[in-house]
Amino acid sequence: MSKVLVCFFSTGGEDVASGENNELGNTAVMAQLIADKLKEDSHEVTSFRIEPSTPYPDGYDQKLARAMEERSMQERPEFVGEIPDFDDYDTVFIGYPIWCSDLPMIMYTFLEKHVFTGKIVIPFCTHGGSGESGTFQTVQEKAVGSAPGEGLAMLGDLTRKPGGKLQVDHWVEQLAV
Ligand SMILES: Cc1cc2nc3c(=O)[nH]c(=O)nc-3n(C[C@H](O)[C@H](O)[C@H](O)COP(=O)(O)O)c2cc1C
């Protein structure tokens, strides 16, 4: 069985689409579903949460203002820690919420910091209605040298419903990791 890494960024907080205040973010829930399914299928799985060095505010308006500022300045926000033995993983799942029809800028930091040559990179994301917004292509372009794996985009609140788990399980099965 291959060694699989599931890395993800997720902020949670105020979710405008569902009206909930999520302590655990939607993408974190999706990442957990993916890791659980992979473990069920006997894979060795490591999860890594991309934690920003400067935490984002919980409130949607404040977070949006910061996200837009980072995007317009093309910032590369830093994250805490690093992944031990990154080279050892054959398959890397990369998850994030859609922000302003793009990847959050911290994902550019993450993608530019690692060497993906020879790995299979599989993106996943949660969103409020806009779908993956072309970000799967961006991930494959930034993860230089990786082989593309088919991504999964999911509405944020679906991750917490039975249908979300079914969709993740089905997707992981057909990926044949
Ligand atoms: C700053 C910001 C920008 C967002 N931009 C979009 C967007 O362009 N399209 C969309 O469908 N959802 C957008 N959303 C909604 C999130 O993608 C969605 O709520 C996601 O599930 C949040 O994931 P998280 O709980 O893991 O942080 C945005 C949310 C935030 C906070």
pLDDT of residue 19: 87
**Claim: this prediction has a pTM higher than 0.95:** yes
Beta strands in 28-176 (DSSP E): 44-49, 91-97, 120-127, 147-148, 152-155
Q: pLDDT tens across 17-65, in order?
A: 888 899 899 999 999 999 999 999 999 999 999 999 999 999 999 999 9
pLDDT of residue 139: 98
Cα dihedral 114, 25, 76, 105 sign: positive
pLDDT of residue 176: 79
pLDDT of residue 102: 97
pLDDT of residue 177: 87
Q: What class, spelled out in words, does domain 3-175 have in CATH?
A: alpha beta
Please name the residue that has the structure tokens 């970000």.
Answer: 135
Q: pLDDT tens across 51-105, in order?
A: 999 999 999 999 999 999 999 999 999 999 999 999 999 999 999 999 999 999 9
The answer, yes or no, to whether residue 156 has pLDDT greater than 80, is: yes
Q: How far is the CA of 96 from the centre of ligand 1 (A)?
A: 9
- Assign 166 a pLDDT band (cuts: 50, 70, 90): very high
The answer, yes or no, to whether residue 1 has pLDDT greater than 80, is: no
Mean pLDDT of 114-126: 97
pLDDT of residue 2: 80
Atom of ligand 1 nearest to the CA of 30: 26
Which amino acid, 167?
Q
- Using CB atoms within 10 A of its CB, is residue 146 exposed (0-12), middle (13-18) or buried (19+)? buried
pLDDT of residue 48: 98
Q: How far is the CA of 128 from the centre of ligand 1 (A)?
A: 6
Q: How far is the CA of 110 from the centre of ligand 1 (A)?
A: 18
What residue owns the CA closest to ligand 1's atom 17?
127
CA angle 78-64-162, nearest 5°? 90
Domain boundaries, the chain: 3-175
